[in-house]
């Protein structure tokens, strides 16, 4: 398990696919910036999980507040974390963003890495909530077990398409 968190963009087609099965999967397309994900926040059952970073600054039982100079600037929303494979991930390139946004991204990732153990522990706690249908906060979480199953199907289909294209060449 790497102890260095990074920010990623996740393929919109993958997100749309998962949203067909679970309405809790977050929207990622916005008018100004697309939502990006922090990962790997959890590795469990051979799945790597990535959680969206959001402008929400209110503490909740299923999120992790990110601070800069002792003030909240954003949060990681573990209730909306999803399993993802390298095929649907793109490392976020901060240099392609406006300078003020670069500063925010750098502050966020620096704090997340300083608090790596807290991030991982919180992700694990929320995973347990999301996989326990009797937990009172279960309804706030993605259906992690279902998303694991659907992520395997998606990658399997993607691989079949890539093999078919390769064989045509």
Write the secondary structure of 74-95 as one string of H (helix), E (strand) and C (coil).
EEEEHHHCEECCHHHEEECCHH
CATH number of this structure's domain 6-168: 3.10.129.130
Using left for φ > 0, alpha for ψ between -120 and 50, and beta otherwise, residue 69 falls in left
Taking residues 33-62, report their average pLDDT. Answer: 94
Enumerate the domain spans of the chain: 6-168
Higher-pLDDT residue of 34, 90: 90
Convert the pLDDT of each residue in 118-142 to its tens digit. Answer: 999 999 999 999 999 999 999 999 9
- List of residues 6+ apart from 114 with CB closer than 8 A: none
Per-residue pLDDT, 1: 47
Confidence band for 42, pLDDT divided at 50, 70 and 90: very high
Residue 9 has pLDDT above 80, yes or no: yes
Give the number of other CB atoms < 10 A from CB of residue 103.
13
Q: What does the buried/exposed string (b/e) look like for 31-69 if buried means 16 or more CB atoms within 10 Å of the residue's CB?
A: eeeebbbbbbbbbeeebbbbbbbbeeeeeeebbbbbbee
Per-residue pLDDT, 3: 65
Residue 24 has pLDDT above 90, yes or no: yes
Q: What is the pTM of this model?
A: 0.91
What is the spatial distance between Cα 40 and Cα 19, in angstroms, rounded to a whole number? 21
Contact (CB, 8 A) for 5 and 118? no
Convert the pLDDT of each residue in 93-110 to its tens digit. Answer: 999 999 999 999 999 999
């Amino acid at each position: 398990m790497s102890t260095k968190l990074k920010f990623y963009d996740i393929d919109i087609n993958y997100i749309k696919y998962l949203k067909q099965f679970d309405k809790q999967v977050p929207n990622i397309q916005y008018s100004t910036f697309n939502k990006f994900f922090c990962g790997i926040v959890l590795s469990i059952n051979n799945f790597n999980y990535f959680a969206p970073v959001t402008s929400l600054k209110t503490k909740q039982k299923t999120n992790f507040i990110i601070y800069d100079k002792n003030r909240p600037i954003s949060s990681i929303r573990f209730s909306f974390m999803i399993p993802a494979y390298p095929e649907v991930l793109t490392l976020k390139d901060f240099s392609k963003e406006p300078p003020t946004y670069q500063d925010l991204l750098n502050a966020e990732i620096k704090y997340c890495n300083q608090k790596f153990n807290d991030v991982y522990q919180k992700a694990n706690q929320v995973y347990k909530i999301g996989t326990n249908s009797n937990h009172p906060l279960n309804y706030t979480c993605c259906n992690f077990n279902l998303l694991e199953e659907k992520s395997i199907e998606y990658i399997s289909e993607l691989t079949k398409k890539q093999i078919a294209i390769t064989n045509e060449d």
